[in-house]
Amino acid sequence: MWSWWDCVQWWNSAWDGAMPWPMFLPMLWPIVMIGGIILLVMLLLRGRTETPPTWRRDASRQTPFEILSERFVRGEIDRHEYEERKGLLSQP
């Protein structure tokens, strides 16, 4: 009859050098459970943030091109400076 100790000593048993992997599965359950709890907490707290995600642009904020165009229309900058800054904003 095989005992638990015989499974631990797999190098001395008749397993022909093959490691009994099912013996290690119970050790994985705590890792799976802790990971599941962390995932559940993250999903529950995900909708509670007050700051909007950074990839969404606020519709009320102006783009740099809109600000530059408004400054040109108000006369704060001349055509040469407008074209120069517009070219700078267009560069990657």
Of 45 and 77, more confident:
77
pLDDT tens-digit profile of 21-74? 666 677 788 899 999 999 999 888 877 766 666 666 667 788 888 999 999 999
pLDDT computed for residue 74 by the predictor? 93
Give the domain ranges of the chain: 61-92
CA separation, residue 47 to residues 15, 28, 56, 57, 92 (Å): 52, 30, 15, 18, 34
pLDDT computed for residue 73 by the predictor? 94
DSSP per-residue string spanning 10-74: GGGSTTTT---GGGGHHHHHHHHHHHHHHHHHHHHHHTT--SPPTTSPPTTSPPHHHHHHHHHHH
pLDDT-based confidence at residue 16 (cuts at 50, 70, 90): low
